[in-house]
Amino acid sequence: MLERRSPLVAPGAYDGISALLIRELGFDAAYIGSFAVTAAKHGLPDIGFASIDDMAESVRCVSAVADVPIIVDGEGGFGNALHVARTVRVLERAGASATHIEDHSFGKHLGAPKVIPVKQAVDKIKAAVDARASEDFLIIGRSDAEMSEGQEATVDRLLAYQEAGADILFMARALRAGDVLNKRLVAESKVPILITNGPNTGYTAADLGEQGASIVLYPTTTSLAAESGMRRAFEAIARDGSTAAVDDSIGTNAQFEEFVGTSEYRATAERIGLLQY
């Protein structure tokens, strides 16, 4: 799939509705991130509250419905190299096709993340590679070191993760208009490069592909769209006691029942005699 797509686009998903949309709109892959899972399940920010069980549960739900390869956020492996090995086994059994293992210990989304020593991070990548049951399950080496160590040191880290066996490299950064992929990373990487995209970057996935990205994730877009859509509906109810102001944008019960496949189940129920009229 990576060879066919330039680049491969993977929107964020975390529940049955987002998984159905992935399938209906014909995307070839999906991404499950701790940002979305933590907010949707716990109403909390993405600062380490999601557990491996939370992530695996989302993988099982999304993979069964979307029926596409799932890239999943493996955080820092939920501990040391021993924990990384278990994380890989759990996510692979749950139905994921790839996971990224990060090199920070704490601080993601709170400022400059504290990153672990390179050797510890390399050991985590090696543990992840050794733990997978199939080589078709891809290990993504992710570095969050840019804010604390700079881009060149981050590239050094990523190339070390490549040497340790990572199948894909991921430099975590808040992409802004005008930012570009690190040219040295593109030149020296022997494996695909993953990058994130989303609102207000000024880039399309094709733009990022031209810069050298093989995979483009949209990790926050689904959560932002869900919150803003529900907020508009709830505000209308709180203000007017009615959804009339937003009816044109939210559709109807009948449309939603068609979306979730009610008519197919009704036909099956009728065929096997479960419905009597």
Supply the pLDDT for residue 260: 96
Q: What is the pLDDT of residues 185-223, one digit of tens each?
A: 999 999 999 999 999 899 999 999 999 999 999 999 999
> What confidence category does residue 1 fall into, taking pLDDT thresholds of 50, 70 and 90?
confident
Q: What is the pLDDT of residues 134-182, one digit of tens each?
A: 999 999 999 999 989 999 999 999 999 999 999 999 999 877 778 889 9
Span 66-95, average pLDDT: 97
Supply the pLDDT for residue 224: 97
Supply the pLDDT for residue 5: 67
Q: Is the pLDDT of residue 244 over 70?
A: yes
Q: Is the pLDDT of residue 76 over 80?
A: yes
What is the torsion angle, in degrees rounded to the nearest 10, for the CA atoms of residue 257, residue 227, residue 140 and residue 6? 70
Q: pLDDT higher for 4 or 102?
A: 102
Q: What is the pLDDT of residues 260-271, one digit of tens each?
A: 999 999 999 999
Q: Is the pLDDT of residue 63 over 90?
A: yes
Report percent pLDDT > 70 for the chain. 99
Span 47-76, average pLDDT: 97
DSSP string, the chain: -TTT-SSEEEEB--SHHHHHHHHHTT-S-EEE-HHHHHHHHHS--SSS---HHHHHHHHHHHHHHH-S-EEEE-TT-SSSHHHHHHHHHHHHHHT-SEEEE--EEE-TTTSSPEEPPHHHHHHHHHHHHHH-S-TTSEEEEEE--HHHH-HHHHHHHHHHHHHTT-SEEEE-----TT----HHHHHH-SS-EEEE--TTS---HHHHHHHT-SEEEETTHHHHHHHHHHHHHHHHHHHHSSSGGGHHHH--HHHHHHHTTHHHHHHHHHHTT----
Span 57-83, average pLDDT: 97
Q: pLDDT averaged over the chain?
A: 95
Report percent pLDDT > 90 for the chain. 89
Q: Is the pLDDT of residue 98 over 80?
A: yes
- Distance (Å, whole) CA 54 – CA 78: 12
Supply the pLDDT for residue 180: 87
Q: pLDDT higher for 113 or 247?
A: 247
